[in-house]
Amino acid sequence: MSKLGTLGARLHRGEIGYDFVGKRKIWYGISILITITAILGLTVRGLNMGIEFQGGAVFTTTTKSQVSVTQAETFAQEASGHDAVVQKLGNGGLRIQIAGIDTDKSDAIKEKLATDLKMNPEKINADLVGPSWGDQIANKAWEGLAIFMVLVVIYLAIAFEWRMAIAALVALIHDITITVGIYALVGFEVTPGTVIGLLTILGYSLYDTVVVFDSLKEQTKGITKQTRWTYSDVADRSINSTLVRSINTTVVALLPVAGLLFIGGGVLGAGMLNDISLSLFVGLAAGAYSSIFIATPLVADLKEREPEMKALRKRVLAKRAQAAATGESLEPETSEPSYDDFEDATPAVVGPRNQPASRSRGRGRPSGKRR
Amino acid sequence: MAWPSTRSPGAGRPEREYEKVAAPKKGRNASAQSRPGRSLALILIAIAALTGGMFASGQTTPRLGIDLAGGTSITLTAQNEPGQPNAINKTNMDTAVDIMNRRVNGLGVSEAEVQTQGSDNIIVNIPRGTNSKQAREQVGTTAKLYFRPVLATDVSGGKASATPSPSASSSSSATTGDKATSSSSSSATPSASATTQGRVVSDALKAGSSPSASSTPSTSASASSSAAPSASAGTDPAAAKLQAQYATLDCTNKAVRAKAGTGAKSTDPTVACGQDKNSSGQWQKYILGPAEVAGTDVKKSGAVFDTQTGAGWKVTMDFTSGGSKKFAAITGKLAQNQPPQNQFAIVLDGQVVSDPSVAQSLSGSAEISGSFTQTEAQDLANMLNYGALPLTFHESSVTTVTAALGGEQLHAGLIAGAIGLALVIIYLVIYYRGLSIIAIASLGVSAILTYVLMALLGPAIGFALNLPAVCGAIVAIGITADSFIVFFERIRDEIREGRTLRPAVERAWPRARRTILVSDFVSFLAAAVLFIVTVGKVQGFAFTLGLTTVLDVVVVFFFTKPLMTILARKKFFAEGHSWSGLDPKRLGAKPPLRRTRRASAPVDTKEA
């Protein structure tokens, strides 16, 4: 803890820090590369849509059966006249998937299977899905996604500003593309559970991004009133100062999901728990990455195009050049207290506490410079 | 969607309050002492009240969904009939739900629930222990409403002896089984008319506009001979078979009744059962001619109270132009017949729901009058409307979960939740040490609130905990814990800047609060959109996620923050004990930094 704690402290003070914004081109490149791979995977391999999206039946037995997987496959094929996929579950039961059968025929198949497997038909779980049901779920999910994106962009544009809204949206699309791409590349089965997981990423990915943006917004208030930092510098620092939180959040979010994944995959073998947690796991990781490496640098990029910020950058660079010209030694001396000032000054603008601002005024810095 | 408007004032208010309180530095401490206790008391009272309510209502566990409790869940999706593009609307869907409820509960499955979901789905949940196959058959078949002419009718079953006339007619129709289709059927019909006499009068159908209701006796009397030709059309083996079916049909037997006339085409004659509404719920059996008018020919039906003639409740029907012609043709034909062949049967799902007699040719609009009660009239009107529903339903998904698997899934979900919670707690303890007490207590409060609300929402709004909902709750552990992380990190940042704990907490709170509100709002927005837009399993998930997000805000505001304020006064935390998680040294608050601050402190006080 203490190591992380000190790391947190050093990140907080800006003593150490990764130049996220400065090296953004690298991360953009990586992201574009991943996205292209994901899209390629999607177009070339396509998604492995589960039975819920094709229509068909999934029969699950819970009790241990003496019938082997291959035998069960033969039984299922005889009973249905369609290809069947049989999996052995962690608890000794069988999961029999038959694609392309109609919902009305399933009862007969179920009974035939029950006799073949020597089981009570009431003891077999059946999940029968019409071919359009999966489409309906997927369509509704897309609809929800679209509505959510529009609302979130509006909300973020009001709560923050449109540049942040756009950056958040890009990050969101990025996360979803990566998750879907991984599903295509690895060939995980896509089920309604996956869709649920994917949709949850929406909230979570933005949740992360929003926290970083919140810090960014706070730290960049009154940025034009000073000449020491460009927008990108401040953006970088806000990422770094929330880095510990971002890591903690991601870890804390991933832990329960990992629990789900372990139980879903390890004990139940397959099913809803597993599907949801798998897509969540992938999506959360992508979300944490994108909020740090994509969203904020993107905001910085967009912001730096603003004339005000351009002017600021010019002033800052001029000042730095001047400082460099007058002497290297000047910089380290001033940097620490002034950094401290800046940290203190921000809440003065944000919040109700005017003491710090007045204090720094007392210290002799022309207050007009800041606000 | 009403959320933003309700929340923003809520979010704004504490801020302003805080400003007022915080601006004079000395006032802050005084008020901070009174406020946390109040908030804590408030939330504890709320928890106690909710828990008390939970025990009072007797619903101490959340209602479990089909996938956890076992049972069958059927999703039916409505489809427009061709040429009726806008048929899927709320009224039609509600009517369909009524009809399906009637069907499922006709099976004696009282716990089955039928509800609409989204705009075009109907979910039928049948708990375990009932014959799910039969229920599925009942629900899955497309309901069809037809108007069929009555060829013969009779009281069916043991109750028949209660009245003298039915017993006479039952013997006559049994013996005249062949005669019903032969030309001499006129001799059989008068005896049959005795049984339906009451209904003939009460269900007398007359034209909505025409005043000539009194013409009934003369037309029906002259028509006796013409009954024969129309009925004799079916003198062939099929008709004989039908007669045999009719003879053996026992409508008091539920299983037999359910099978009566199944598979009959609308163009063939069939047998059917119907319950007499007027006389003590007797079962009546019928031979019915081919369907002359389909339910889709009814444009609209309604129940009205006739104030003018004092006839009481009656059911009106409006036909489409095509239906109007057909209806005029058949009523014209029927009006010339002897009872019971002047009756037509309104057949819904193979069961006769009404068998009014016809006095004259009718067209356009018609009404059925009789000694209806209001509910009866409305039921019949609904059924007629249902026939008019240009909707067909098909099974989108059928999930049958045995009780064993349901229990196993619930078990797995709970274990997963416990593991997730344990991992989060371990992480928090390692990372935040003493502070984790606050986090764990808050998580506990959050968990209690979630559980109690879920239990209460079961009966209140029909919330059922299903597997995705359990997933949502587990995922929400992360969101809830994150609020504490945001808050704690802020406090630590303040301490790193050299503040002592109490001012650090008060300074950190407004900033953390905004972050928590903004990020929770985004999370809630996602849940709300998902809940409104999506269907099925996604909805359960979205609901839990939304609920826990709201609870997270409540818990952070009314529990975590006050508790933090109170604990900040405790020596253990205030002095930064190395196990408190707030040790300035461990956090790396730099001595030089603190020196500057101390140097500036006098300035501070002077100005204040």
The CA distance from B391 to A172, in Å, is 39
Q: How confident is the model at residue B388 (pLDDT cuts 50, 70, 90)?
A: low
**Domain limits for position B524:** 25-65+402-587
The answer to whether A17 touches A23, Cβ cutoff 8 Å, is no
Nearest to B475 among A152, A257, A352 (CB): A257
Same domain for B55 and B193, yes or no, is: no
- H helices of B113-163, in order, are 132-140
pLDDT in tens, B164-194: 333 333 333 333 333 333 333 333 333 333 3
DSSP B142: P
Q: Which positions in chain B touch A246 (Cβ < 8 Å)?
A: none
Which pLDDT value is given to residue B137? 65
Higher pLDDT, A257 or A104: A257
In a domain, B4, yes or no: no
Which pLDDT value is given to residue A287? 83
The CA distance from B133 to B110, in Å, is 16
Q: How confident is the model at residue B323 (pLDDT cuts 50, 70, 90)?
A: confident
Q: How far is CA B194 from the centre of its chain?
A: 44
Last residue of a domain, one of B400, B435, B466: B400
Is a pLDDT exceeding 60 seen at residue A330? no
Is the sign of the CA dihedral B323, B326, B331, B332 positive or negative? positive
Number of folded domains in chain B?
A: 3
Residue type, B278: N
Q: How far is CA A244 from the centre of its chain?
A: 17
Give the residue from A60, A107, A211 with the most B CB atoms within 10 Å of its CB, the best one to mutate: A211
Which pLDDT value is given to residue A65? 62
The CA distance from A106 to B72, in Å, is 14
B101: exposed, middle or buried (Cβ count in 10 Å: 0-12, 13-18, 19+): middle
**Domain limits for position A165:** 3-49+133-308
Which pLDDT value is given to residue A269? 55
Is a pLDDT exceeding 80 seen at residue B48? yes
The answer to whether B323 touches B299, Cβ cutoff 8 Å, is yes
The answer to whether B587 touches B431, Cβ cutoff 8 Å, is no
DSSP B150: E
Is a pLDDT exceeding 50 seen at residue B89? yes
Q: Calculate what percentage of chain B has a pLDDT beyond 90.
A: 0
Is a pLDDT exceeding 70 seen at residue A95? yes
Question: Residue B532: which CATH number?
Answer: 1.20.1640.10
Q: ipTM of the assembly?
A: 0.73
Mean pLDDT value across residues A269-285: 75
Higher pLDDT, B140 or A192: A192
Is a pLDDT exceeding 80 seen at residue A348? no
Q: Which residues between 122 and 181 in chain A have a beta carbon less than 8 angstroms from any beta carbon of chain B?
A: 122-130, 132-133, 136-137, 140-141, 143-144, 147-148, 151-152, 155, 159
Residue type, B258: A
The CA distance from A290 to A292, in Å, is 5
Same domain for B224 and B286, yes or no, is: yes
Is a pLDDT exceeding 70 seen at residue B393? yes
What is chain A's mean pLDDT, rounded? 73
Number of folded domains in chain A?
A: 2
Q: Calculate what percentage of chain A has a pLDDT beyond 70.
A: 75
Higher pLDDT, B116 or B25: B116
Same domain for B299 and B219, yes or no, is: yes
Is a pLDDT exceeding 60 seen at residue B410? yes
Same domain for B293 and B210, yes or no, is: yes
Same domain for A90 and A233, yes or no, is: no
B139: exposed, middle or buried (Cβ count in 10 Å: 0-12, 13-18, 19+): buried
Is a pLDDT exceeding 80 seen at residue B442? yes
Alpha-carbon distance A343 to nearest alpha carbon in chain B (angstroms): 9
pLDDT in tens, A109-159: 777 777 777 777 667 777 777 767 777 777 877 888 888 888 888 888 888
List C-alpha distances in Å: B282 to B276, B357, B548.
Answer: 5, 18, 54
Nearest to A244 among B489, B536, B589 (CB): B489
Same domain for A273 and A186, yes or no, is: yes
Same domain for A138 and A243, yes or no, is: yes
Which pLDDT value is given to residue A155? 87
Q: How confident is the model at residue A366 (pLDDT cuts 50, 70, 90)?
A: very low
Last residue of a domain, one of A78, A108, A129: A129
Same domain for A224 and A288, yes or no, is: yes
Same domain for A158 and A193, yes or no, is: yes
Q: How confident is the model at residue B142 (pLDDT cuts 50, 70, 90)?
A: low
Which pLDDT value is given to residue B129? 60
Which pLDDT value is given to residue A340? 41
Give the residue from B475, B477, B594 with the most A CB atoms within 10 Å of its CB, the best one to mutate: B475
Is a pLDDT exceeding 50 seen at residue A36? yes
The CA distance from B270 to B264, in Å, is 6
Last residue of a domain, one of A308, A330, A352: A308
DSSP B18: H
Question: Residue A236: which CATH number?
Answer: 1.20.1640.10
Mean pLDDT value across residues B242-257: 68
In a domain, B604, yes or no: no
What is chain B's mean pLDDT, rounded? 68
